[in-house]
């Protein structure tokens, strides 16, 4: 196609260069400046073709369409030398050189070459093109300086940020991602990835951060392997046909631990700089990994891995330091010993994972209750401790109450609400403490006292508590032995129908005849046994013994019912239904004749768990009774939520029943009437007088037991007592008593 004849009048002036300079100076990157320069120069001269060569590399071309720039256009050409370009035609060329003294050797050596169809370039045009090319050279030079400066500045900033992250002990993954991100930014946003040796399988390379490496492939892995094998910490052009990859080794404790790889952007002359940058980032990875491993080692040695708190050994070290400081400075030091209430039940029923989550959350709550300068620790299990420096007992008590309140709030763990609590023992450092262990021991003793006096309490250590503890320890030791030496035995107290005064059943009660202490009351030894799994063993023995006794009595009195007390710990223990079921089966006792008595405290502390456990017991056919009803905090309406068959009205209500005690009568009536409405059987405990018996009968109470009828008696007396009752039927109950406790 032939075009029109071109006008030849030009208005070359400095303004032509000004317009060009404005366009070329705008971009912040070299490639954009080159493109802008070439585009503008071509338009200025009404040329069709143009190229920019830098360091013998073609950096930009325009006007050739989809075809490659033909070699004839790239060779050494003189101004206005005609060149025949395929598909375009015969063009005249003009060349402007970029390389003058200012730019030589800076990577900005090169030239701009234009081609124009049909018209030669005038001397004026050649001169202007020369000016434009020189301008481009200077702009590129300035950009390279600026770029280098910007890169250096950004590198310093980025490395500083990474250093801060490492020293702030940010999570390792976060630090490694930040390093990869930094390398990606500094290397022109080309693909960057971090690969780490798998510690479990050192021959495997695991990609760590791949977000910035779209299209990650085997070639990248191969290069990384090469870098690890020491084939070159930097770029490896032989493996790369099209575009090179850079790799920089990561070293931990002197061993290759992975590598950072990158596909560089831009042109070969810049690869060396990019390789150095990549190395700088790889060193950061090495530093972060080394640091993380050493920190991890220290942490493992001194920290509890679930909560991240110091462990017992570390805590005792810290506490000893604080103790010595407080002794030297005559300052206060207080220690809190925290024991979680009902943690074991959570752990047993919801699993260890939930238990661990709960412990971690507990540690967070404890930490929020103390100052940053205080030290919290997990001593093990469900025990925590806090060292409060410069804190007297009164202030320590305040902190302890804060912690108890914080831990009394429900926990949300694994999508469910869990209620626990804590008991806290408090001890202040004193002269008698020879070391930190002694101080912590006092707090431990106080905690036991707190636990015994009711959960959720804070108790300050008093010296007498130490004796108590020693006494309890002795008791515990004896208890452990009694399972085998026959000191433990069962007493039976009859339960009668208040309407007919006929014997309906019998309650089995544990007794301990201590060779030295004499008869130890259950209220003393049961809590001691409950502190450990000993209660489970003793409980299981009692179940088997009582059912064996029942079996023997059933030969004489079929239909006799047995009430058996089990402790909260037994109920929580998952094996209870199996133990009960097995004992029933072994003794051929129908399950409906066995009534399991539990305390209402169990229902209050963990209603959900109680419901689940009681349902399992109901499933085997036994009856359930709430013992000592009315002494706890449960409301009457609570009852309907549980599969309860019987309620035993606590003796404290019965003791006050008199004709003129209207309030007490009303109270007893409300319990009995409610149970009637709920079709729950009522048993009055501790009936001692005829007046009480009469009133209870009037109120409609179903059953009763107490000294008025009989004291608890050994098994071997039961048949005798029952025989006597049968033969004296019709006599008043007191005459039936066979007091042989």
Partner 1 sequence: MRGSTEPTGDRWFGVGSSTGPRAGQAGADAARAAQAGRRANLVVVFCSTLYDAAELLEGVCSVTPDDAVVVGSTSMGELVSDKHDWAAGPQPSVVVAALGGPGFAVRSTFVPRASADHRQAGIEAASVMDQVNAPNKVMLMILDGLLRERHKLVRGAYSVLGASVPIVGGCAADNLTYTLTQQFYGTGQAVDVLSDSVVAVGLGSSGPLGVGLGHGWHKHGQPMVVTGSNEGEVFLIDNQPALDVYLRCIGADKSLAEDAYKFREVAFNHPLGLSRGDGEDLRVIHSANPERGSVSCLADVPQGALVWTMRTNERSLIEAAVSSCQMALDGLGGAEPVGLLIFDCGARVVRLGRGNVSAEQGAIRSAVGAPFAGFYTYGEIARTRGSRGTHHLTVASLALA
Q: Which residues lie near partner 1 (CB under 8 A)?
A: 1-4, 6-7, 9-11, 13, 15-16, 18-23, 39, 42-49, 62-67, 87-88, 116-118, 125
Helices 123-167 & 14-25, crossing angle to 10 degrees?
20
Q: Which is nearer to partner 1, 19 or 174 (CB)?
A: 19
Q: Which is nearer to partner 1, 16 or 367 (CB)?
A: 16
Q: Which is nearer to partner 1, 118 or 590 (CB)?
A: 118
Residue from 529, 519, 524, 520 nearest 568 by CA:
529
Sheet holding 89-97, edge to edge: 57-62, 49-54, 110-117, 89-97, 82-85
Contact of 658 with 694, CB cutoff 8 Å: no
Distance CA(302)–CA(409), nearest Å, equals 29
> Which phi-psi region, left, alpha or beta, contains residue 147 (left: φ > 0; alpha: ψ -120 to 50)?
alpha
- DSSP H helices in 217-335: 218-228, 271-302, 312-329
- Minimal distance in Å, beta carbon 63 to partner 1? 4
Q: Which is nearer to partner 1, 89 or 199 (CB)?
A: 89
Contact of 248 with 233, CB cutoff 8 Å: yes
- Minimal distance in Å, beta carbon 61 to partner 1? 9
Q: Which is nearer to partner 1, 122 or 144 (CB)?
A: 122
Q: Which is nearer to partner 1, 61 or 682 (CB)?
A: 61
- Minimal distance in Å, beta carbon 38 to partner 1? 10
Q: Which is nearer to partner 1, 22 or 268 (CB)?
A: 22
SS3 of 624, please?
A: strand
Q: Which is nearer to partner 1, 74 or 350 (CB)?
A: 74
- Minimal distance in Å, beta carbon 214 to partner 1? 20
Residue from 570, 238, 237, 605 nearest 455 by CA:
605
Distance CA(525)–CA(320), nearest Å, equals 36
- Minimal distance in Å, beta carbon 77 to partner 1? 17
Residue from 242, 243, 258 nearest 180 by CA:
258
Q: Which is nearer to partner 1, 61 or 311 (CB)?
A: 61
Distance CA(173)–CA(57), nearest Å, equals 41
- Minimal distance in Å, beta carbon 5 to partner 1? 9
* Bridge partners (DSSP) listed for residue 506: 494, 562
SS3 of 338, please?
A: strand
Distance CA(231)–CA(334), nearest Å, equals 61
Residue 673 contacts by C-beta under 8 Å, 6 or more apart in sequence?
699, 700
Distance CA(391)–CA(18), nearest Å, equals 76
CA dihedral 33, 37, 43, 47 (to 10 degrees): -130
- Minimal distance in Å, beta carbon 132 to partner 1? 13
Residue from 49, 70, 44, 38 nearest 116 by CA:
49
Residues composing the chain: 741
- Minimal distance in Å, beta carbon 9 to partner 1? 7
- Minimal distance in Å, beta carbon 100 to partner 1? 23
CA 123 to chain centre: 79
SS3 of 379, please?
A: strand
- Minimal distance in Å, beta carbon 124 to partner 1? 11
Distance CA(465)–CA(103), nearest Å, equals 89
Q: Which is nearer to partner 1, 113 or 617 (CB)?
A: 113
Q: Which is nearer to partner 1, 65 or 76 (CB)?
A: 65
- Minimal distance in Å, beta carbon 3 to partner 1? 5
- Minimal distance in Å, beta carbon 180 to partner 1? 29
- Minimal distance in Å, beta carbon 81 to partner 1? 18
Q: Which is nearer to partner 1, 127 or 480 (CB)?
A: 127
Q: Which is nearer to partner 1, 118 or 454 (CB)?
A: 118
Residue 291 contacts by C-beta under 8 Å, 6 or more apart in sequence?
166
315-335 b/e with 16+ CB inside 10 Å = b?
Answer: bbebbbebbeebeeeeebbbb
Radius of gyration (Cα) for the chain, nearest Å? 45
Q: Which is nearer to partner 1, 47 or 488 (CB)?
A: 47
- Minimal distance in Å, beta carbon 52 to partner 1? 14
Q: Which is nearer to partner 1, 4 or 76 (CB)?
A: 4
Distance CA(246)–CA(560), nearest Å, equals 89
- Minimal distance in Å, beta carbon 206 to partner 1? 39
Q: Which is nearer to partner 1, 63 or 258 (CB)?
A: 63
CA 571 to chain centre: 29
Contact of 508 with 530, CB cutoff 8 Å: no
Residue from 583, 579, 613 nearest 598 by CA:
613
Q: Where are the beta strands (DSSP E) in 526-661?
A: 561-565, 594-599, 623-629, 646-649
- Minimal distance in Å, beta carbon 269 to partner 1? 25
Residue 135 contacts by C-beta under 8 Å, 6 or more apart in sequence?
17, 20, 21, 24, 37
- At 737, list the tokens: 């008593």
- Minimal distance in Å, beta carbon 17 to partner 1? 8
Q: Which is nearer to partner 1, 132 or 459 (CB)?
A: 132
Contact of 685 with 493, CB cutoff 8 Å: no
């Amino acid at each position: 196609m032939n075009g029109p004849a071109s006008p030849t009048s030009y208005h070359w002036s400095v303004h032509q260069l000004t317009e060009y300079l404005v366009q070329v100076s705008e971009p912040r990157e070299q490639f954009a400046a080159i493109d802008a320069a070439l585009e503008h120069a071509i338009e200025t001269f009404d040329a069709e073709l143009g190229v920019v060569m830098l360091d013998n590399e073609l950096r930009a071309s325009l006007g050739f369409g989809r075809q490659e720039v033909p070699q004839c256009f790239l060779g050494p050409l003189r101004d206005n030398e005609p060149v025949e370009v395929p598909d375009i035609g015969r063009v005249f060329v003009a060349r402007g050189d970029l390389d003058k003294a200012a730019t030589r050797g800076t990577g900005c050596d090169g030239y701009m070459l234009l081609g124009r169809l049909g018209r030669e370039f005038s001397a004026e045009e050649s001169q202007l093109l020369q000016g434009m090319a020189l301008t481009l050279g200077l702009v590129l030079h300035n950009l390279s300086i600026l770029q280098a400066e910007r890169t250096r500045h950004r590198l310093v900033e980025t490395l500083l940020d990474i250093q801060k992250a490492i020293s702030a002990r940010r999570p390792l993954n976060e630090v490694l991602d930040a390093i990869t991100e930094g390398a990606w930014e500094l290397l022109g946003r080309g693909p960057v990835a971090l690969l780490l040796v798998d510690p479990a399988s050192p021959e495997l390379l695991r990609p760590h951060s791949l977000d910035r490496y779209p299209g990650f492939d085997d070639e990248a892995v191969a290069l990384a392997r090469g870098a690890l094998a020491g084939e070159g910490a930097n770029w490896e052009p032989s493996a790369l046909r099209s575009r090179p990859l850079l790799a920089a080794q990561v070293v931990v404790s002197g061993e290759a631990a992975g590598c950072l790889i990158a596909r560089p952007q831009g042109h070969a002359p810049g690869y060396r700089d990019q390789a150095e940058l990549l190395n700088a980032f790889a060193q950061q990875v090495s530093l972060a990994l080394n640091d993380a491993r050493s920190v991890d080692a220290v942490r493992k040695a001194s920290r509890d891995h679930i909560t991240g708190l110091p462990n017992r050994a570390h805590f005792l070290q810290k506490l000893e330091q604080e103790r010595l400081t407080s002794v030297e400075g005559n300052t206060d030091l207080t220690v809190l010993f925290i024991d979680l209430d009902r943690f074991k039940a959570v752990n047993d029923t919801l699993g260890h994972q939930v238990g661990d989550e709960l412990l971690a959350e507990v540690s967070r709550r404890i930490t929020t209750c103390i100052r940053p300068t205080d030290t919290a620790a997990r001593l093990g299990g469900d025990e925590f401790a806090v060292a409060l420096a410069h804190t007297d007992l009164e202030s320590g008590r305040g902190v302890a109450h804060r912690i108890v309140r914080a831990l009394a709030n429900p926990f949300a763990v694994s999508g469910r609400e869990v209620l626990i609590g804590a008991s806290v023992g408090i001890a202040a450092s004193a002269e008698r403490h020879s070391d930190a262990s002694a101080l912590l021991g006092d707090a431990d003793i106080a905690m036991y006292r707190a636990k015994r006096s009711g959960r959720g309490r804070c108790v300050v250590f008093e010296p007498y508590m130490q004796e108590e503890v020693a006494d309890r320890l002795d008791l515990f030791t004896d208890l452990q032995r009694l399972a085998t030496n026959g000191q433990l035995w069962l007493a039976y107290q009859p339960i009668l129908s208040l309407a007919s005064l006929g014997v309906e059943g019998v309650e089995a009660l544990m007794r301990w005849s201590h060779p030295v202490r004499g008869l130890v009351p259950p209220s003393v030894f049961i809590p001691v046994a409950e502190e450990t799994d000993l209660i489970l063993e003793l409980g299981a023995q009692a179940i088997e013994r009582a059912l064996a006794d029942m079996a023997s009595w059933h030969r004489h009195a079929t239909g006799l019912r047995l009430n058996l007390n089990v402790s909260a710990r037994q109920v929580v223990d998952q094996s209870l239904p199996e133990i009960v079921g097995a004992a029933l089966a072994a003794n051929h006792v129908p399950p409906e004749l066995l009534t399991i008595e539990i305390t209402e405290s169990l229902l209050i502390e963990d209603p959900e768990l109680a419901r689940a456990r009681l349902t399992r017991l109901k499933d085997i056919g036994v009856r359930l009774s709430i013992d000592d009803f009315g002494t706890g905090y449960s409301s009457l309406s609570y009852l309907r939520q549980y599969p309860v068959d019987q309620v035993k009205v606590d003796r404290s209500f019965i003791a006050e029943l008199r004709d003129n005690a209207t309030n007490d009568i009303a109270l007893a009536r409300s319990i009995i009437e409610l149970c009637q409405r709920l079709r729950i059987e009522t048993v009055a405990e501790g009936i001692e007088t005829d007046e009480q018996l009469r009133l209870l009968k009037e109120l409609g109470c179903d059953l009763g037991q107490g000294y008025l009828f009989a004291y608890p008696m050994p098994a071997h007396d039961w048949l005798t007592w029952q025989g006597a009752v049968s033969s004296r039927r019709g006599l008043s109950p007191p005459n039936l008593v066979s007091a042989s406790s």
